Amino acid sequence: MCGIVGYIGRNEAWSVILEGLKRLEYRGYDSAGLAVLNNGTIDVRKAVGKLKVLESSVKDNPPAGCIGVGHTRWATHGRPSDENAHPHTDCSGRITVVHNGIIENYLQLKSRLEARGHKFTSETDTEVAAHLIEEYYDGDLASAVRRAAKELEGSFALVVMAQDEPGCLVGARRHSPLVVGLGEEESFLASDVAAFLKHTRRVVFVDDDLVVSVGKNNVRLFDLQGNEFVASATTVDWDAAMAERGGYDHFMLKEIHEQPRALRDTMRGRLSSELDRIDLPGLNLSDDEIRNINRIVMIACGTAYHASIAGKYAIEELCRIPVEVDVASELRYRDPVIDDRTLAIVISQSGETIDTIVGLREAKRKGAKAVAITNVVGSLAARESDGVLYTYAGPEIAVASTKAYTTQLMLLYLIALYIAQVRGTIDESRAATLRAALWELPSQAEIILNDYSEVVKAAERYYCFNGFLYMARGINLASALEGALKMKEIAYIHAEGYAAGEMKHGPIAMIDPTFVTIAIAVQSKTYDKILNNIKEVKARSGEVIAVANTHDETIVNYADRVFRVPQTEELLSPVLVAIPLQLMAYHVACNRSPNIDQPRNLAKTVTVE
Ligand code: F6R
């Protein structure tokens, strides 16, 4: 994982780099470092721990200079320590490297380089890149990086600075993100545009196996053979304020509150305001191609996988196409049944999750058409798919995904309705009902967010309980799994999501007075069955919180507490149910952990296996 930043321009590099690293801290936060070049000398600073440790030591005695590189680390090779923190240097200290990814052949390269006299000072895979570049360096950094990149196996985004070339930074990438930012007499290289959004929105996305050389006023792209490419810049429509906390205690809370806006933006232009039509040009599929699909495979990890579970229910019900959902880390190794009549739907907030990307490649290799649902313009998933539908959630900074999830659901509903229309598997009155209900979701989400005092009270009561079980039936199985994941990842409490019909097959044995069950009991065809499940838990002295509709009077006779959500179509209800579950995990976590935006052991984007 890890976040990297490079800067060349008119300002003090240390300050721009630290500010950029703060935006990337979601990618890793066990150590950090930066290096600044000035008057022929490179000054390297490192610190174990969160970025603020580095920041306070650098601020006491900042390194002068207008060109530098920085890194925030999530350890893969070598424990968090000053020696293993980046930047890494070659033997002479003249070449400095920051890296995101894993160099898989680093042991072979290391022994070859050691045999040639190179001295290593860290346990990392990254350091081989610095020494390999040193081997090839003859006064042309871009050429040395290019020759080194050819020999590296695995994944990397590198930013390299050479003492003898103060006018440029050189980057290279394979399977790890790298973006160039073009400002006024200043340029940036970073893992994510969030690092430099405050300075510029003009970006160049660097493709795999390209080397990029940036100066204050120029950018040059080369392939690994040294052929030069024209770098085409695009303007991203995120602004810096979107990546700030905006008065909220945590990014996660801010992002939960952004959901009405994010849902509206994701619907805009796709569901017509007359509510009579859905247009999805991003799908990039002709009507004939849609009619030819005989199977859909969804590829995703974590929260995005939970969105795919809801997507399966929606697509199978509306389109009558069999849908298979699988976590990408399983799909990539199990030889799935995919052919040229399969549509692969790849769901990834970052668009860079390595298992998801490999799953996408595997699906395409077997002949499938692939459509990406992603939040990041120009991400790998977007570029490698045949079609792309962006969730317009804006930057998601908190590690725990919230607004990306509900906007992924929104796109899956739009896809299901669109395909159903084309294939004629839905009658117009049902389609019209669903379109109208979709349109209402952002306002209904606002109603939940206007008053969730019940959730805050419940969090205060239950934050020291031993475990949470989330149970649901039908499409809200996705909500149960997602609610449990949120609780685990930020509150560090054991939580499980279960199909309620499975309770008697095992989980009910867990129920005791210290165990909380959250039952998703919104109006549905299985509502009465969920009431029975709640009775069974109560009969064993378990505490029950129900998520139920606003006007449901019955539920108070069953559950100890009720989180209310407005009523919508059962198929669409996971969007609304997600919100109190996100808030519950957030408020339980507030009572237990200071690290809500950056939970222990996690990173936002999993770019290594
Ligand atoms: C959980 C969470 C993760 C991600 C997963 C996939 O809150 O954020 O489970 O959903 O790592 O990430 P993307 O969507 O970027 O592929």
* Per-residue model confidence (pLDDT) at position 104: 84
Identify whether residues 471 and 511 lie together within a single domain.
Answer: yes
| Bond from prior residue into 281 cis (ω within 30 degrees of 0) | no
Give a yes or no: residue 318 inside a domain. Answer: yes
- Does ligand 1 have an atom closer than 6 angstroms to the CB of 391? no
Q: Say if ligand 1 is within 6 A of residue 605 CB.
A: yes
Task: Say yes or no: 478 and 375 in one domain.
Answer: no
Same domain, 18 and 140: yes
Interval 567-579: pLDDT, tens: 999 999 999 999 9
Residue 294 and residue 260 share a domain: yes
Residue 286 domain flag: yes
Distance (Å) from CA 179 to ligand 1 centroid: 21
Q: How far is CA 288 from CA 130, 276, 365, 372, 412, in A?
A: 52, 22, 22, 20, 20
Q: How many domains does the chain have?
A: 3
- Of 539 and 29, the one with more pLDDT: 539
- Same-domain pairing of 403 and 316: yes
Q: Examine the domain organization and report whether 376 and 511 are in the same domain.
A: no
**In the prediction, which pLDDT does 1 show?**
62
- What's the pLDDT at 546? 98
DSSP secondary structure string, 192-251? SGGGTTTT--EEEEPPTTEEEEE-SS-EEEEETT--EE----EE----GGGGS-TT-SSH
Q: Is the CB of 411 under 6 A from ligand 1?
A: no
Of 74 and 256, the one with more pLDDT: 256
Residues 274 and 182 in one domain: no
Which of 213-222, 245-254, 403-412 shows the lowest per-residue confidence on average (mean pLDDT)?
Answer: 245-254
Q: State whether residue 559 is helix, strand or coil.
A: coil
What is the spatial distance between Cα 186 and Cα 182, in angstroms, rounded to a whole number? 7
Residue 398 predicted with pLDDT over 70: yes
Task: State the average pLDDT for the chain.
Answer: 94
Q: What pLDDT shows up at residue 601?
A: 83
Q: Are residues 274 and 236 in the same domain?
A: no
Give the Å distance between the CA of 380 and the centre of ligand 1: 15
Ligand 1 probe mutation, 349, 352, 608, most atoms within 8 A of CB: 349
350 lines ligand 1 (CB under 6 A): yes
CA of 304 to the centre of ligand 1 (A): 6
Least confident of 162-176, 440-454, 499-513: 499-513
219-223 and 515-520 strand pairing: unpaired
Q: For position 507, which CATH number holds? A: 3.40.50.10490
CA 307 – ligand 1 centroid, Å: 11
Does residue 375 line the site of ligand 1, with CB under 6 A?
Answer: no
pLDDT tens digits, 523-563: 999 999 999 999 999 999 999 999 999 999 999 999 999 99
CB atoms within 10 A of CB 41: 13
Partner residues linked to 187 by β-bridges: 8, 182
Mean pLDDT of all residues in 207-235: 95
Provide mean pLDDT across the span 194-212.
Answer: 94
Q: Given the CA of residue 349, which atom of ligand 1 is nearest to it?
A: 14
Report CA Rg, the chain: 25
Whether the model clears a pTM of 0.85, i.e. scores above it, the answer is no
Query: Separation of 138 CA from ligand 1 center, angstroms?
Result: 42
Mean pLDDT of 47-53: 91
pLDDT of residue 220: 97
User: Angle 555-559-561 (CA atoms, 0-180°, nearest 5)?
Assistant: 100
**What CA–CA distance (Å, rounded) separates 233 from 244?**
25
Atom of ligand 1 nearest to the CA of 400: 7
Tell me what the mean pLDDT of segment 321-333 comes to. 92
**Domain finish residue from 449, 467, 496:** 449
Decide: helix, strand or coil at residue 41: strand
Q: Catalytic residue numbers?
A: 2, 604
Residue 598 within a domain: no
Range of the domain at 146: 3-243
Assess whether the C-beta atom of 476 lies below 6 angstroms from ligand 1: no
